[in-house]
Structure 1
Amino acid sequence: MKQKVISVVGPTAVGKSKLGVELAKQFGGEIINGDSMQIYQEFDIGTAKVSKEEQDGIIHHLLDFKSPQEGYSAAEFQTDVSREITFVSKNNKLPIIVGGTGFYIHAALYGFNFSEAKRDERYVNEMLKSIDEIGVEPYFERLKKIDPVQANKMDPQNIRRVIRALEVYDTTGKTMSDYQQEQIAEAPYNSFIIGLDMDRELLYERINSRVDEMLEAGLEQEVKHLYYVYGEDIQAMQGIGYKEFIPYLKGENSLEEVAASIKQNTRRFAKRQLTYYRNKLPHVNWYTVHPSTYEESFTTIFQDVAGFLQTGKE
């Protein structure tokens, strides 16, 4: 019998963390973080990291466990999630993966066969130095020729991802798309994937309001601290809510422009998240929610999860 796992996905600001906690309380579960930014210590406000109060006594795994200087990948996440699922289930608790990083969730639940190419810090450092001198554009153009499928899925300004895709090819002679096409067919878990969606205009309003709340909560001060302590080249600083501050800290734009950029990039990210879930992630059970009727929607979800746990069918 495969281990049963619940996963909650959906665009940013839709209410995944809230649902995850309620599911854990309802079904005796523990939460495994599935957000690629919330793994980092000190990156709190800009990642909308679930607070102790919001955790409401529910144990959360893979949260706040990486130093800001460390890199992290979907392959590492796959390994870490496998370990945590085993640990949680051995304690007779239900593993509930909650997060918005679609590729990470996909990799964890469907046993991706990742490139065995190890990270080469010398290669990365040389690339970073070169990009600092001539920009990332020539390297992104090279990636588009080598692996147009992977390039099309990337933000050209996500320097670390561009470097990693080139590093895999230069090290192994195979593209990341090649590796992704070699995935094993059988999923290692019996998973029930909950997809939360929301009226687009309402979701965008929530995103804009959340950014305003982050700024009021001290996001500028958080980013300044991280920037001056760790610099702009660490992987975590490439996340939305952080990278937009770099021109501001260099005196190149205003705080108002930073806020507008974060809002725009977050809205675009939410759209990309939904596109990935709908086009790439199999077997998602979709639920349209509204903040005023969360409890009603959650009741329906609880009923479906209970049925899944009783029958074990996807």
Structure 2
Amino acid sequence: MLCICGPTASGKTALAAELAKQLDGEVVSADSMQVYKGLHIGTAAPSTEEMQGVPHHLIGVLEPDMPFSAADYAAAAGRAVQDIVARGRLPVLCGGTGLYLRSFLEGTVFASQPGNGTVRSRLQKELTQMGPAALYERLCRLDPQGAAAVHPNNHTRLLRALELYEATGQTAAQRAAASKPEKTPYDPLILALDITDRAQLYARIDARVDAMLERGLLAEAESVYLHRACWPGAAQAIGYKEFFPYFENVAPLAQCVAALKQASRHYAKRQLTWFRHMPGVVWLPAGEKAAEQAWQAWQEFCR
């Protein structure tokens, strides 16, 4: 099995499709938002042209009001991979949602953690009084790797992460390790794309945001805004919530676009932090030679 990961705007989609085409494979998305229908632009879901004729799985298959957890992803990806392998083809996982990748690749069984109403109420009060930045800073001190998977403005996940840490005294990685089976069914080559020049990465992110706007991102974001009460996941996603102030007439469009670009940069940094903590990752420089180097890495892996 081949896995392509890395930060946003690093070229994962194109590389995965190209390698899958060469290796008679099919791509399985590992993106927490691409799974939803009607959110193709803001989630950077690959277009028909970008798929290069390669079958892609777990893209646009759920209604936006349906919950979809890491455990749900692990089960769905498992079914897709089994189907691909049964037809004699190679599964190529591709995405930037590190928790989803780990949950599938490590075969993690997510045990249900009981909530603590007292702790949750206190944390909710602290969130109101201190703001999300202060609580996120606390999570970064307690569990840096776990914090990399939580957006500071996703209050639900932020409070849950702090609640679980207080309840168990364990980081997210420690809880996952306790749930990890002794033997996992997969032996993947995990390739991660990196852009060491941060200015270049940020320029690519800015250019992609501009391209999304040209493709109709604003209309897609407005649809999310109008359905935000019943689409809670999408309403918290980068690419949509940054435009809510514009729809509410409290901020100009240019300010919201700048906020989206900044949020995307922060997300890319969190992704890099996450993937650097994943064991067994082979890092490749993003760019024109990425496909050639990925092919060489695959050949060595298969020897």
TM-score bin (small chain): 0.7 to 0.9
> What residue in structure 2 maps to residue 149 of structure 1?
143
> What residue in structure 1 maps to residue 299 of structure 2?
306
Q: For each residue in 1:59-96, what CA deviation from the matched residue of structure 2 results, as whole angstroms up to 9, or x when unmatched? A: 11111111111121111111111111111100101000
Secondary structure at the aligned position of 1:244 is classed as helix
| TM-score under structure 1 length normalisation | 0.82
Q: Mean alpha-carbon deviation: is it higher for 201-210 or for 159-168?
A: 159-168
Give the aligned residue type for 1:11. Answer: P
1:135–1:19 CA distance, 2 compared to 1 (3 A): farther
Q: Mean alpha-carbon deviation: is it higher for 31-40 or for 150-159?
A: 150-159
Query: Deviation at 1:206?
Result: 0.7
After superposition, residues 102-141 of structure 1 pair within 5 angstroms as 102-117=98-113, 137=131, 141=135
Gaps of 5+ in 1: none
Residue 184 (structure 1) aligned to one of 172, 181, 184: 181
Gaps of 5+ in 2: none
Secondary structure at the aligned position of 2:44 is classed as coil
> What residue in structure 2 maps to residue 195 of structure 1?
192
| TM-score under structure 2 length normalisation | 0.84
> What residue in structure 2 maps to residue 90 of structure 1?
86
Residue 237 (structure 2) aligned to one of 239, 245, 251: 239
Secondary structure at the aligned position of 1:265 is classed as helix
1:245–1:304 CA distance, 2 compared to 1 (3 A): same
> What residue in structure 2 maps to residue 71 of structure 1?
67
Q: Mean alpha-carbon deviation: is it higher for 239-248 or for 161-170?
A: 161-170
CA RMSD of aligned residues (A): 3.1
1:288 aligns with 2:270: no
> What residue in structure 1 maps to residue 269 of structure 2?
271
Quick one: distance in 2 between partners of 1:158 and 1:26?
39
Q: How many matched pairs?
A: 291
Query: Deviation at 1:263?
Result: 0.5
Secondary structure at the aligned position of 2:227 is classed as helix
Quick one: distance in 1 between partners of 2:194 and 2:143?
27
1:8 aligns with 2:4: yes
Identity percentage of aligned residues: 35
Q: For each residue in 1:191-242, what CA deviation from the matched residue of structure 2 results, as whole angstroms up to 9, or x when unmatched? A: 0001111232211111001111111221111111222134486112211111
Secondary structure at the aligned position of 1:190 is classed as coil
Give the aligned residue type for 1:193. Answer: I
1:245–1:203 CA distance, 2 compared to 1 (3 A): same
Quick one: distance in 2 between partners of 1:185 and 1:254?
53
